[in-house]
Amino acid sequence: MASPLPLRSGTSENPDGTKTEYFEVEPTEENLRSLIQELFEDNWEHIIFGPCVQGAVFEIRFFEKPRIGYQDGYLTIGPTSWHFHLCVGPHKGSDTRPTPPELAATRRCSRAAFFRDLDRAGRQSSWGFRMWNGKDEQMITVFFPNPWLDPEKSDYVETPDWKRLALWMRLRERYAGIPVEPPPVDSGPPQMH
């Protein structure tokens, strides 16, 4: 595998005036396997996931606990009717079709980070985790429970339930080394897009 991209914790400015704060995770095979398994085996009912790029957001949710397998560097996650793959470890291909090293490095996750989005006024609006491949292309985004969204109705609420950040805070602390912080000072709901 090519050397991983340098850790880039910090804040990025988005074209619409919002910001995204990143909290980097060391993208080792062991770290990513543990984190993905914790997300999809232990917390599958609390998360929404999928590709999230400009112009397309897939909000996928499991309604039953998915199965997770691992072979040739790939985690395979899903129920029996469909699944997806994430390359998190050494990928060699088969004896008859070996994967060239440069292609294996492109496929493998080279960057992973927890994130939180801030609206134009700096209010927190969404929380998640992302992975990028060796070409810095997004592989997956996982959205965590949002204090501003009613999980039953998928509708915005007037008063946030900051306890909904517990999973994001706990996993961010474990995998990115960021201590759990107190809930933000409530300055009203964020501007949702």
CATH T-level topology, domain 10-176: Heme iron utilization protein-like fold (3.40.1570)
Nearest C-alpha neighbor of 119 from the set 30, 189, 183? 189
Note the pLDDT tens digit of each residue in 13-54: 999 999 999 999 999 999 999 999 999 999 999 999 999 988
* Percent of the residues in the chain that have a pLDDT greater than 70, as a whole number: 91
Partnered with residue 74 across adjacent β-strands are 71, 87
Note the pLDDT tens digit of each residue in 58-95: 999 999 999 999 999 999 999 888 999 999 999 999 99
| pLDDT computed for residue 4 by the predictor | 41
| pLDDT computed for residue 64 by the predictor | 94
| pLDDT computed for residue 76 by the predictor | 97
Q: Which stretch of 5-19, 28-42, 148-162 has the lowest confidence by average pLDDT?
A: 5-19
Distance CA 134, CA 193 (A): 30
Domain boundaries, given as residue ranges, for the chain: 10-176
Residue 92 gets the label, from left (phi > 0), alpha (psi -120 to 50) or beta, of alpha
| pLDDT computed for residue 152 by the predictor | 81
| Residue 74 exposed, middle or buried by CB count within 10 Å (0-12, 13-18, 19+) | middle
Q: Which stretch of 6-10, 110-114, 116-120 has the lowest confidence by average pLDDT?
A: 6-10
**What does the pLDDT average to over 154-158?**
85
Reported confidence tier of residue 188, pLDDT bands at 50, 70, 90: low
